[in-house]
Structure 1
């Protein structure tokens, strides 16, 4: 399945819903980039994962009022320690300070935005800047140009944070890069989303809206490779870390190793329905070269759909996606991950004043499971055909909503493992906040997804000053 096929399916679905190219449109920009709002709404996402954030409306003059452009940012420091003795890692899990500056300049018909983090990471072995991995003394989060060539079309070009879908820290049709290392060591949740170097075109109409994203060179996840977090190394059959860093063969040819992603969405009353398509590669390593042992990113196509809206006193959502692993359609290649069907059911409700409960059920069902079992190398751990995960988020706001208590639990009854994320944030004043939290893993076996990270249990503390 190639990129044109993915886009063709999305456009065909648009015609079924009654939209034709060139239909009348109302201008909109879903990610808060200053365009007029439309009558369609993006689903809400966890704090820090909702795309761009507009500056608050206030009569107070910003600190950057004397500058020829709008400027804001923050300084923060974070430190954390492991709770377990890991022979393959340092005792500290995080020890860093960063200054983020976000500059924005409005021109007639266009907006330029630059966001960069100046970072000192005491645990970084090599402080040379690497914009792909986000390591080094500088991480470029955004460098984009936004303009509207017509009343019904918006274009965003350059480095940007992209997100869509309905899950809460569970992603199915969001095939944009994630930073799993940041997520597990205690950085702010906004750093779970890594930047993409892409072109995004959004077309709006009174019937349906289309987002089309083209990434000319594959943007992989910032995945776990052993340098900061230990994990189960299937090639060695044991837990490894800094003693056996993963080497990869990554698709890296511009305009050849590219990615396409599309979303077609509209509101039906109070409900938002969406169709998705993706053509590219597995975002984290999902294959291996037998000769060299290098991890690979096999070709991948994804087709999916979602529905989100009111359900009783709360908000419900359902999302599904089919992952077509194109190099292993028969499931008999043990060096490439099989195709999968993924399903997510979610519900969120305020169960008491300032107390919100969110529940999710997530399923990964492997295709061609018998072929997978038949060709599995002797002694290799066997995955279940169905992996079930339950999640629960509790959020409680106290002290005039200045203190947020959060507890997020992932539990897999099939893998018999779990991941617990306690977190507390106190907003001291309009500028200063203090955060404390942890990443706690449990598992009966070291080869399961959460069980492999038990040696990485950590607690962290952070302070942030925004301006």
Structure 2
């Protein structure tokens, strides 16, 4: 079945931001050769480090408050250059990732190198700039390059790029940013603001899978509670696997489908509010907003001139009200999360098995507990449940009226905390589908990390989503170097 359903992520904005950052860096190099320019661009901090205080005391310098004797030519404290500050405030990660299939061929799945740049800096004590971008190079043996029949595929995108202004009682942020709502690890209960990168299915860690989107957000602080507001004029949606790539799973249907995508456009706004209150060891959050579905829904439209069935791929809007609660007691952290989603779009089929969108009121909930044995090891257990209020009639077979999942995590460090072992287990209660992940992370040095993991799927229900991935067991190796 051929599915013309690619969501195009234009590389122009990503490359433009990378080029702007490089130009910014080159401008700094030029500024270093212009006397006084770098000093005017970056003001000195009003605070001195402890090391500087010791030097002044040992050398018998005057009181630290009297700095009139210091000049830019002081050999002990030379004026920092623009490039010095750029490298000091940047983190560059150079990495290589390889994955090998255990059952289904071809055996090599991932084979790529990547570079990631993270840059954080503070201007004039109240302006904060953050940039987080990544560029990957995939040769022909990588499944993504092979899907597009390219010898080399270059993929670049920006996760975050924003400016934040902070004041006494509030802060304002504008740009491409990630906002994390909720506390659940199993599924997204209230964590619906930021879309996810699903191009590698579940093989991307959650902290790396979240995608940013352009928005204006603000935090307002008071003695009673903190309030977070955001507005996004162009919502992002999940980044799906490329067509014909390893993890591309087209909707089941007869014959060839032509899919017309209708993604959110500029003006299809998302907005929301989140209120946080900390009472002793208890953290309470209330949240509400209007959102667009991060995952796509399909609706049959008819036939085109070539007698091929046509379906639209949409991301319908819905509203949500939710709450999250966490409480720390001794070595335990208890957490709960609840969301009521009004008019949430689910995938449906009509009597002839054709696609349609069904809007239902949905209640998502999760409860869990984390245990920390004085940093000797950590465990986490969580149970989630989705309840469709008006029933699951008319929905696809993988949408049950009650949908529950169980999640377990165990983590322990060895060799003076340089070797980390982590085990993750997920189980769908109704369909009894599950997967296991074993992961070892070894910090060879402070700047070199090696990650190896092995993932096993065990699908039992042919109607479940995981059944399509039952032969996707794989072992992977990732090497990362930090500069």
Confirm or deny that 1:359 pairs with 2:381: yes
For residue 199 of structure 2, what is the aligned residue in structure 1? 181
Matches within 5 A, 1:14-163: 66-69=83-86, 70-85=89-104, 90-108=106-124, 109-122=126-139, 123=142, 124-125=144-145, 136-148=154-166, 150-163=167-180
Q: Which shows bigger deviation, 229-238 or 347-356?
A: 229-238
Shift of 1:412: 1.3
Deviation by residue 1:66-90 (Cα, 9 ceiling, x = unmatched): 534322221010000122225xxx5
Separation in 1, partners of 2:210, 2:337: 20
Count of residues in correspondence between the two structures: 386
Q: In the alignment, which of 335, 354, 368 is matched to residue 317 of structure 1?
A: 335
Decide whether aligned partners of structure 1 residues 365 and 157 sit closer, same or farther in structure 2, where only a CA change above 3 A counts. Answer: same
Specify every segment of 5 or more residues in structure 2 that has no aligned partner in the other structure, as ranges.
Answer: 1-48, 53-76, 303-309
Decide whether aligned partners of structure 1 residues 184 and 247 sit closer, same or farther in structure 2, where only a CA change above 3 A counts. Answer: farther
For residue 52 of structure 1, what is the aligned residue in structure 2? none
Confirm or deny that 1:338 pairs with 2:360: yes
Deviation by residue 1:57-115 (Cα, 9 ceiling, x = unmatched): 99799x998534322221010000122225xxx54321111111222332223122222
* 8 A Cα contact 1:287 1:337, kept in partner: no
* 8 A Cα contact 1:232 1:446, kept in partner: no
Separation in 2, partners of 1:402, 1:164: 31
Q: In the alignment, which of 309, 314, 317 is matched to residue 296 of structure 1?
A: 314
Decide whether aligned partners of structure 1 residues 319 and 75 sit closer, same or farther in structure 2, where only a CA change above 3 A counts. Answer: same
Separation in 2, partners of 1:169, 1:231: 22
* 8 A Cα contact 2:257 2:311, kept in partner: no
TM-score normalised by length of structure 2: 0.72
Specify every segment of 5 or more residues in structure 1 that has no aligned partner in the other structure, as ranges.
Answer: 1-56, 129-134, 239-243
Separation in 2, partners of 1:110, 1:351: 40
Shift of 1:170: 3.0
Separation in 2, partners of 1:211, 1:245: 43
TM-score normalised by length of structure 1: 0.75
Deviation by residue 1:173-194 (Cα, 9 ceiling, x = unmatched): 1111111234524x45432111
Shift of 1:358: 0.3
Matches within 5 A, 1:422-433: 422-433=438-449
Q: In the alignment, which of 373, 384, 408 is matched to residue 392 of structure 1?
A: 408
Decide whether aligned partners of structure 1 residues 188 and 353 sit closer, same or farther in structure 2, where only a CA change above 3 A counts. Answer: closer
Confirm or deny that 1:349 pairs with 2:371: yes
Shift of 1:462: 0.6
For residue 420 of structure 1, what is the aligned residue in structure 2? 436
* 8 A Cα contact 2:114 2:135, kept in partner: yes
RMSD: 3.2
For residue 202 of structure 1, what is the aligned residue in structure 2? 219
Separation in 2, partners of 1:246, 1:214: 34
Separation in 2, partners of 1:277, 1:224: 30
Q: In the alignment, which of 236, 241, 256 is matched to residue 219 of structure 1?
A: 236
Max Rg structure: 2
Q: Residue 184 of structure 1 aligns to a residue in which SS?
A: coil
Deviation by residue 1:280-338 (Cα, 9 ceiling, x = unmatched): 2111013424332232211111110011012464100000101222678x999952353
Decide whether aligned partners of structure 1 residues 414 and 401 sit closer, same or farther in structure 2, where only a CA change above 3 A counts. Answer: same
Deviation by residue 1:212-246 (Cα, 9 ceiling, x = unmatched): 121111210113465434466444279xxxxx899
Using CA pairs under 8 Å that are at least 6 residues apart, name the structure with larger relative contact order, 1 or 2.
Answer: 1
Q: In the alignment, which of 405, 424, 430 is matched to residue 408 of structure 1?
A: 424
Decide whether aligned partners of structure 1 residues 126 and 297 sit closer, same or farther in structure 2, where only a CA change above 3 A counts. Answer: farther
Q: Residue 199 of structure 2 aligns to a residue in which SS?
A: helix
Confirm or deny that 1:286 pairs with 2:297: yes
For residue 41 of structure 2, what is the aligned residue in structure 1? none
* 8 A Cα contact 1:182 1:192, kept in partner: no
Shift of 1:265: 0.8
Separation in 1, partners of 2:113, 2:389: 44
